[in-house]
Amino acid sequence: MKMMKVIGVVAFVAAVVLVSVFAVQSTTTDAAVTEKIANDYGVYALPMPAYLEFAGERVPLENPDIKERMDRELHVNTYWQSNMIIMMKRANKHFPRIEALLAQHNLPDDFKYLAVAESSLDNVRSPAGAAGFWQFLKGTAKEYGLEVNDYVDERYNLDLATEMAAKYLNKSKNRFGTWTLACAAYNAGNGGINNQLERQDVDDYYDVLLNPETSRYVFRILAFKEIMSNPKKYGFNLRSTDMYQEIPTKKVVVNYPIEDFAKWSKDQGINYKILKIHNPWLRDTFLKNASKKEYIVEIPEEGYYQLN
């Protein structure tokens, strides 16, 4: 009986010691992990750039409200690293084409970052029905002369949609006098911006109180411009081999109906999938084209895809 008591006491003491050791180890480990995170992970508050501009128009960073709004977008987008890296890769592929189109239609180069803000340079469709890189609604697209139906949706045609965006933005600039307000109007509509400017008796984007989305809109675009123009400054390291590349294409004029795009694609030396990748504005497996309208279809140059 005494032996049992001795064994019990020894076991109890051993358990206490063991628990104490584990507690010390746990505390030490937590502290070590905390120190490692602080030393190695390197999450820092970002310094505000001394000067920013949009389309040649200075951002009044001396205004505390403006500085805080810019600071927010700079941090949100810098530390959403995966999204930013993908957009940088896509930009390498799509920016040269967009830049040339913007210059052709007398639009400042900074508006390429508006396309980034709208769609992340992807042919997406919003819950509201806006589509393509420039995110046009169906009614607005038709108003500006784009074809939108079950067979063809030219909002997904980068050349035509960029031309339409340039027309819309130039019209807004002529109405409001600044590119910054034209940019805001792209998000809120010309009527919406005009109503708020008149109601609040101001004439500048940085002075008008707008809905939360439009209040952030220009600053998001500015953040994309700043980060994508200075990737290393914000901790992004991409090699040339990491970047997506534009694939050269030849243009084929189509002014006739096509009964089966899969068969037609093979006649062009590609397949249906590749046809749709390069021509996302073709929305069905065939093209009626009873009016014999002239479309330009892009076909990748030979050798860029390995077909089975």
**Which pLDDT belongs to residue 226?**
98
Please tell me the total count of domains within the chain: 2
- Examine residue 29 and state whether it is found in any structural domain, yes or no: no
**Which pLDDT belongs to residue 22?**
41
Is the pLDDT confidence value at 1 over 80?
Answer: no
Kindly compute the dihedral angle of the four CA atoms of residues 258, 260, 266, 267, in this order, to the nearest 10 degrees: -30
The answer to whether the CB of 143 falls within 8 A of the CB of 189 is no
**Which pLDDT belongs to residue 113?**
98
Q: Are 237 and 260 in a shared domain?
A: no
Q: Are 81 and 101 in a shared domain?
A: yes
Q: Are 63 and 199 in a shared domain?
A: yes
The answer to whether the CB of 137 falls within 8 A of the CB of 156 is no
- The total of other beta-carbon atoms located within 10 Å of residue 195's CB is 12
Q: Are 237 and 253 in a shared domain?
A: no
Domain stops at, among 225, 242, 259: 242
- Examine residue 39 and state whether it is found in any structural domain, yes or no: no
Domain stops at, among 242, 274, 292: 242
Reading the block at residue 39, the tokens are: 């030393």
Q: Are 67 and 172 in a shared domain?
A: yes
Provide the CATH number for the domain around residue 70.
Answer: 1.10.530.10
Q: Are 232 and 267 in a shared domain?
A: no
- Reported as type and span, the H/E element at residue 300 is strand 295-300
Residues 51-67, mean pLDDT to the nearest whole number:
98
Closest CA to 250 of 304, 289, 292: 304
Instruction: Identify the residue whose tokens are 């990737």.
Output: 231
Give the largest CA-CA distance in the chain: 106
- Examine residue 23 and state whether it is found in any structural domain, yes or no: no
Q: Are 254 and 237 in a shared domain?
A: no
Rounded to two decimals, the pTM is: 0.86
- Examine residue 119 and state whether it is found in any structural domain, yes or no: yes
Q: What's the rounded Cα separation, in Å, for the pair 231 and 239?
A: 11
Long-range pairs for 108-111: beta carbons < 8 A, 24 or more residues apart: 108/55, 108/56, 108/179, 110/54, 110/55, 110/179, 110/221, 110/225, 111/55, 111/165, 111/166, 111/169, 111/183
Q: Are 182 and 285 in a shared domain?
A: no
224-274: per-residue pLDDT in tens?
999 999 999 999 999 999 999 999 999 999 999 999 999 999 999 999 999
- Examine residue 14 and state whether it is found in any structural domain, yes or no: no
**Which pLDDT belongs to residue 24?**
43
Q: Are 266 and 211 in a shared domain?
A: no
Q: Are 195 and 139 in a shared domain?
A: yes
Q: Are 222 and 79 in a shared domain?
A: yes
**Residue 82: helix, strand or coil by DSSP?**
helix
- Examine residue 202 and state whether it is found in any structural domain, yes or no: yes
Is the pLDDT confidence value at 300 over 50?
Answer: yes
- Examine residue 308 and state whether it is found in any structural domain, yes or no: no
91-134: per-residue pLDDT in tens?
999 999 999 999 999 999 999 999 999 999 999 999 999 999 99
**Residue 136: helix, strand or coil by DSSP?**
strand
**Which pLDDT belongs to residue 206?**
98
Above pLDDT 90, what percent of the chain?
A: 83
69-91: per-residue pLDDT in tens?
999 999 999 999 999 999 999 99
Instruction: Label residue 27 by pLDDT band (50, 70, 90).
Output: low
Domain stops at, among 198, 213, 242: 242
**Which pLDDT belongs to residue 303?**
77
- Examine residue 90 and state whether it is found in any structural domain, yes or no: yes
B/e letters for 196-220, b = 16+ CB within 10 Å, e = fewer, are: bbeeeeeeebbebebeeebbbbbbb
Q: Are 213 and 253 in a shared domain?
A: no
**Which pLDDT belongs to residue 199?**
98
Contacts of 48 (CB under 8 A, 6+ apart): 61, 67, 70, 71, 74
Contacts of 186 (CB under 8 A, 6+ apart): 114, 165, 168, 169, 172
Closest CA to 274 of 258, 296, 297, 243: 297
Domain of residue 101 covers: 54-242
Query: Cα 11–12–18 angle (5° rounding)?
Result: 85
